[in-house]
Chain A
C-alpha cells in the first residue's frame, strides 16, 4: 500500500499570532495545518465546518482580512498577523446579527451545517452591497453548497436581512399557499 516517498519532513511547531473575531489570539500548533484546522482544533471555534477540505463546497468559508476565502485551502502559516472573522464573530454581544435572525426565522437553516459558511458569505456581500438583488445574492453565494433547502429560503433571508441592515421594515417568512383538502378518511 505504500509508495516510495522522500524522507519525511520533520514535525515542526508554528507559533501563530492573529486576530480572530476582533480578539488577539496566539496558538502553538502544527506548521502544516490549514486555517480551518487551527480555528476548529486549536481555538475551539467549531462553528466553521468542513464538507470536503478541497475547496469544493464552501462550508469552511471565513473572512480573512475582510475577504471571503475558504479556510480549508489557507495555510495557517500564511495567517501570521492577519485578521479572521468566523460565524462566531458575526455578532457583537448576545444579540443575533440581522442575518442570523433572518436565517433562523425564514427557514434558511435546516440542518445548519452549511449555515456558517452561508452567513459569512452573505455578510461579505451585504457589507459591500446591502441592497443586493436576488441575482447578486445567488452569485455571491454560488460557492456555498446546500443539500437541504434548495436555496430559495436562504435568498429570502439575505434579502430580509439586507433590509433590516438598511433600517427598512422586512417581511416575515414567505409562507406557502394552503388549500383545504376534502378527502377525509376515518381513523383506524
Chain B
C-alpha cells in the first residue's frame, strides 16, 4: 500500500489547511445554538414516546397489560415485546436484545413497553399505567456471584451458566519464563465501571418521509449498523429505511450500540403514521449505559536481570451487565493491547466476562484497554521501584521498535513513545523532582497506546470500512459526503480539512454532509478512533482523483505537463510560474467540459492483520497512537483527599490536522481520565436480600454521579509528538481516546510518590487513601483473584518462536469451512 502521509503530486513544503489552527467548520453553528441535535428536531403532528421499564432486576414476564395505558388521555398506541420478536445486538455473536423485552427482564430499567401519546407528560403518566406481572428470579449482582450461580441463566447463550465469554491465549510458555526469571512480580487490581455521561441524552425522531419511507434521525454513532439492525428487526428492506445520525452532544462510546428505542420509535411511526420522538431522561441514559466494564485483574511478570520482561500474564474478570453489547470484543480488549508499548518475550492472557442483572457494559473511551493499562502501568511502577530503576528510563529503554510484531501478533508501525516520555520527563522536571518532592507531594508517570481504528469490521464482510463521495460544481463549490458521525470529536472538520488540503481550498469552502445513509457512502461509525484514519484516507483518495481531473484540464489549458500543476488558495496554477493559472471554478468547468460531471469516490480498507488465531481480530489496527503523562499530586494525609496540581501529557499523533482541535481532544481525554481516576463510579445498591431482591443504580443523576467541574480541573500542559504515520492521511493518527489511558495510573503512581501508599484500584477516593495509610500493608486494593473456569488455552507461538500468527491447537483457517461474507438480506 502506498505511503499516504505525503499524498499528492510532489512533496509538500508547507500545508494550506493541514496543521493550521483554523476555526472548525461546524464551529459557527455550535456557538449560535443552531446545530440540530436529535431532540432539537420537531415535525408537525409529532407524537411523544415514553418507555415503561422493568422495576425488578431479574424476572420472567408473565403478562403485560396495556389496557389502562391505552385508555388514558392522549395515548395513540402502546407497543410491547410482542411487536419485536426479532433479536438484535451490535455483535453478530451476541444478538441477545429485543427492542422491548419479550420473555424476561434482566435489570432494573430494562424496557418493557412503549407508550405513544400527544405530549410527553401524557406518555409518562400512561406509561405508569402499564401493568406488568413478573415471576421474580434470583438477582445476580456481581461476577463472583455469576460464577457461583450457573442457574438460572440470565441468557440462554454464552459459554456456560452466567459466563458470557471466557478466553485463554498463550503466546509462548509464560510459566516457563516466570520460572527462569530473576524476579517475579504479582499484583491485583480493580478498575471501577463508569458511564460516558455525554451531556446530550439519547434522542430519536422517527417518521415517514413524503414517499412513505422510514426515516430514523437519532443520536447514534453508528448509523450503518443501526441501518442493518432496523431493517432486520422491522422486517423492511434496507432501501426503505434511512438513518440520519444527527450531530451529537458527546458520545464517548455511549451511542455506539443499537438501542431498542430507536427501532421502537420507527415502528411507532409506522403504526401511527405520525412522526414519533423519544428523548431519554438522564436516569434512562444510565440504564442504556454500555459504559466502562468493571474489571478485576491479576498480573504476573517475570523480569530478567536487565529488567526486561521475559513473560507477562494478565487475567481479567469483567462485569458485563445484562446483555452482550460489545462485550466479547471488550473481553479481548482487556488483553490485546498489553504488548504494543514495551517488549515482552512471552505473553499470556485470560479474560472472562459474566452476565449480571445490571445495565449492560460496552465501549467507553478506550474500550477495555484503560483497565489493563492501569494495571500494567502501576505494576511496572512497583517493579521499577524494586529494581531500583527510574520508571521513565525503564519505559524508554524497553519501548517496542517501529515496524515490529508483538508476542500476540499486533503490528506496530510508527511509535513515538520514547519522544512522548522524553517530553513529559523534561517538561515536568521529572529527573530532579521524582521521589524528591517531600511528604504529601508526588509525581507519577505512565504511558500507553491506542488503536487508530479496529482492523476488522463488526460484521464479517469484504467491503471498505469507509467511503467518501465528492461533488465539484462548476461554481467552484465542493460537497463531500460520508456516513461518518460527528459527535463533537471533529470528524466533519477532518473531512473538510483533508479535502481542502488536496484541492487547495479553505476548509470553510467545503460543504460537509455526514451521518446520513441516504446521502453518503458507508462509514462503519465513530468508534475505536477509526474516523480520522479511515474516513481520512478515503477522503484523500476521492479528493486526489478529483485533483487529477482538474490538473489534467488545467494542464491542457496552460499547455504545461500535469506534474507542474499546483493547487492553493482557490487557484490551479503552474508551479514554475504561479501567476499563470485558473480559478478553481474555471478548472472545474474545464474538467467538466473535457470529461463530464466531476464527481469522485474514495474508500479505505485496513491492511489484513497478521494475527490468525481466534480472537486475533480484536486489537489489530493500521496504526497505534502513543501517549505519556506525568501527574503531580498533593495528598492531604489528614483527609486522604488527592488534589491534582498539574498534568503534563504528550501524545504521538503522527500529524495534527488541526492543533486547536487536537489539543481539545487531548485535554478532554485527560479530563475524563481524571474523572475515572478520582470520582466516577457506576455503582449499584443491593437491598438486604431477606427484605428485597432489588438491585438499583446508586446514583443515576448528574448530581450524584460525580464528574469534575471547572473548579476540579488542574492545569494541563499538552505536547504533541509528530512523526508522520505512513498509514494515516497526511500522517495523522488518532487522538480521541489515547490520551485518557496514562492518566489513571499516573495518578495512582503519584499518590505513591506522595505518601507511599498503593491504591491498586480506581477511583482513588479519600476513603481508600486513608484506609491505605492506616493499614499495615500500606495498600488498598482487591484481594485474591477469583477462581475462573478458564477454557483450554489457544497456543500461539510468538513471531520469534517460529509462529505464523495462528494457533497450534486450532484448526487452520483454510481447513475450516469458508465463512461467506454476510449479505444484507433484501
Contacts and interface: CB of A to CB of B under 8 A. Distances in A.
Interface of A: 1-2, 30, 32, 40-41, 44-54, 56-57, 59, 86-88, 90-91, 96, 99-101, 103-107, 109-116, 119, 137-139, 141-155, 172-188
A107 B663 contact: yes
B27 interface: yes
11 contacts: A1-B129, A50-B39, A96-B32, A107-B661, A147-B198, A147-B672, A148-B664, A149-B671, A183-B415, A184-B414, A184-B723
Contact of B31 (A57, A59, A104): A104
Interface string B232-270: 000000000000000111101000000000000000000
Contact of B707 (A138, A147, A154, A183): A147
B402 interface: yes
B32 A91 contact: yes
B656 interface: yes
Contacts of B413: 185, 187-188
Contacts of B670: 150
A49 B199 contact: yes
Given A110-B664, A149-B667, A150-B670, A177 B720 contact: yes
Interface string B26-46: 111111111111011010000
Contacts of B197: 147
A1 B31 contact: no
A52 to B, nearest CB: 4
Given A2-B129, A113-B249, A179 B710 contact: no
Contacts of A147: 196-199, 250, 252, 668, 671-672, 707
Interface in B83-138: 119, 121, 128-132
Contact of B702 (A51, A101, A112): A51
A56 B703 contact: yes
Given A152-B716, A187-B726, A32 B121 contact: yes
Task: Classify the secondary structure of A's interface with B.
Answer: loop
Those 3 A-B pairs whose CB atoms lie nearest each other, nearest first: A47-B33, A181-B723, A111-B488
A184 B3 CA distance: 12
B59 to A, nearest CB: 13
Interface string B404-425: 0000000111111111000100
Given A115-B30, A149-B667, A187-B726, A175 B710 contact: no
Interface of B: 1-5, 21, 23-24, 26-37, 39-40, 42, 52, 55, 119, 121, 128-132, 196-201, 247-250, 252, 281-282, 402-403, 411-419, 423, 487-490, 607, 650, 652, 654, 656, 659-668, 670-672, 701-703, 707, 709-711, 713, 715-727
A188 B4 CA distance: 10
Contacts of B402: 183-185
Contacts of B34: 47
Given A176-B720, A178-B659, A180-B721, 11 more contacts: A46-B40, A56-B282, A101-B31, A104-B28, A107-B663, A138-B710, A145-B709, A152-B715, A152-B716, A173-B21, A174-B663
Contacts of A177: 423, 717-720
Contacts of A49: 37, 199-200, 249
A179 B488 contact: no
A88 B1 contact: no
A113 B282 contact: no
A96 to B, nearest CB: 7
Given A32-B121, A151-B671, A188-B411, A144 B710 contact: yes
Contact of B713 (A32, A107, A150, A186): A150
A95 B735 CA distance: 32
